[in-house]
Structure 1
Amino acid sequence: MSTQYLLYGQISRHLNNRQNDSERTIEKCFLVGALTGFGSSFIETPIGLVNGQIEGNLYRRHTHVFDFHVKDCCKYIYKANGGLRGFYKGFFANLICSIPTSMFYFGGYEYVKNHLYQTHFRFFGPAYKDKHLRTGILFSGAMGGFCAWSICYPLDRIRSEIQSDDLRRERRKYTSYIDCVKQMYQYENNLRIFYRGFLRGILKAIPINAACFLAYEEVNRLIQ
């Protein structure tokens, strides 16, 4: 997650410098969010694969092939999946998930924050705005997380399924992204499977995202 905030800040500054425009329009925030999702996929895919393989091994989704340690898991992925390139299994699924999630995450946050500041705080003086700024950031961060996960949670479920699948070709459950979607749907013959664990995930995401955005804004303000 820290990678996303770093990329978001760097891409925002790069676009502002290139266009000689410091204004944060909502359209620009959604664009920067999408680019952030694309860039972060190169880092998140190997991490997600290691996490998925450990979970798959832990819950016996595939046979026990390594000890439950990150080091052993990395060795297994390297040997069983074609070297360093093997750490990018599920990259396409990660892209499909990360780009819209980051777009709605950061775009939703900026939209709610701007709406609060311009619509509800515009009649008050600077002292009132500063006093309630942190409350607005917390609320906007929570809404950004809620917006992103409400829309993109099924994409994350599909990504997790693909990255926790057995790496050995003869034991793989899914042959492609589309095959994974079909098999998941056929398992229960309805769309509920794509939202399994949604309530637990969203209840966890709301306070975490609120706190993360507040920390991000506070650090930015201190640096500037």
Structure 2
Amino acid sequence: MSKTLIDLTAGTAGGVAQVLVGQPFDIVKVRMQTAPQGTYSGMLHCAGGILKNEGPLAFYKGTLTPLLGIGVCVSIQFGALEWTKRFFARRNIESGVGGPDGLGLNSGQLFTAGVFAGVANGVVSGPVEHIRIRLQTQSATNPTYAGPFDAIRKIYSQHGVAGIYKGQVVTLWREALGYGVYFLAYEKLMQREMARKGIRRDQVNPANAVLFGAAAGYALWAIIYPIDMIKSRIQTDGFSRADGQKYKSTLDCVRTVWRTEGIGAFTRGLTPTLIRSPFANGATFLGFEMAMRLLSS
């Protein structure tokens, strides 16, 4: 099996693990981000309301879209990351520096590889998250969409490709900056562990992959959470003034939220995200590392 195919397959395994672990937390985050100010007093109030009014399966509402889409996204993410790492490794070797398992890649190269991975991922993650958020926030008693494919069909028929890619600019900003930091943090922790113990990557304890993934997830959200909140607002906004559009652009959204709701709105829903992050990101990297070892053996 080629290295690229191994990367893509292992990335898919990581993506599926991420969705299954993180989806219940994600729906709480999105509801808190997009609900009018004062709707929820906190994470438990939001989660309790979902459970009481919509039942336990509501925590996996819209899961088919991320299960298919995020699997593809994380596959692309890791495929682009590993390709870029190998590109920089070859350049380093040609220059007389570097070593095995990425030990020779410097912070700038790792950050750049993460940015490339994020941008490549963003082409798919933008519409996937848009559809997921529409499904997560629609009325439980009178839903607009019967499911992800119905949502895609209706949005495309009414608003074209631009409707499917609503919020794409802010998504690309989030992915590029966030995954640059995300993969830099994870890879530096892996480098440190390999160098400290003098071992190969496939000899690193799987528990450390979970811990390093959890740490990388916190680094990611520390950087991008306000951007993610704006993305959620734009992707749940109307498509035109006729159907209730509130924001003319990303910048208008930032200004409006700041003016009407204050700085606190930019971190609303952060608690479930911080609780979700170590589990979802730890599962992502564990799934990826274990699949890589299995496929490379």
One-letter amino acid matched to 1:43: V
One-letter amino acid matched to 1:102: Y
Q: Report the counterpart of residue 211 of structure 2 in structure 1.
A: 139
Mapping 1:98-177, distance limit 5 Å = 98-119=175-196, 121=197, 130=203, 133-170=205-242, 171-177=244-250
* Runs of 5+ consecutive residues of structure 1 not aligned to the other structure: none
Task: Find the aligned partners of 1:37 and 1:163 in 2 and give their Cα distance.
Answer: 19
Q: CA deviation at 1:216?
A: 1.2
Of 71, 74, 81 in structure 1, the residue corresponding to residue 149 of structure 2 is 71
Q: Report the counterpart of residue 183 of structure 1 in structure 2.
A: 256
Q: SS of 1:55's equivalent?
A: helix
Q: CA deviation at 1:66?
A: 2.7
Structure number with the bigger relative contact order (C-alpha 8 A, sep ≥ 6) is 2
Of 173, 176, 180 in structure 2, the residue corresponding to residue 96 of structure 1 is 173
After superposition, the Cα gap between the structure-2 partners of 1:167 and 1:57, relative to the gap in structure 1 and judged at 3 Å, is farther
Task: Find the aligned partners of 2:279 and 2:272 in 1 and give their Cα distance.
Answer: 12
Q: CA deviation at 1:37?
A: 0.8
After superposition, the Cα gap between the structure-2 partners of 1:211 and 1:71, relative to the gap in structure 1 and judged at 3 Å, is closer
Q: Report the counterpart of residue 207 of structure 1 in structure 2.
A: 279
Deviation per CA, 1:31-80: give whole Å up to 9, x if none: 100111111111011112212222343389xxx78334212211221122
Contact 2:127 2:165 in 1 (8 A): yes
Q: TM-score, normalised by structure 1?
A: 0.83
Deviation per CA, 1:93-141: give whole Å up to 9, x if none: 101111111111111111222233434x35xxx59x94x6323222111
% identity of equivalent residues: 24
Of 155, 158, 161 in structure 2, the residue corresponding to residue 80 of structure 1 is 158
Task: Find the aligned partners of 2:113 and 2:140 in 1 and give their Cα distance.
Answer: 37
Q: Report the counterpart of residue 64 of structure 2 in structure 1.
A: none
Q: Report the counterpart of residue 35 of structure 2 in structure 1.
A: none
Q: SS of 1:58's equivalent?
A: coil
Of 30, 51, 58 in structure 1, the residue corresponding to residue 111 of structure 2 is 30
Q: SS of 2:205's equivalent?
A: helix
2:238 counterpart of 1:193: no
Contact 1:30 1:106 in 2 (8 A): yes
Question: RMSD of the alignment, in Å?
Answer: 2.6
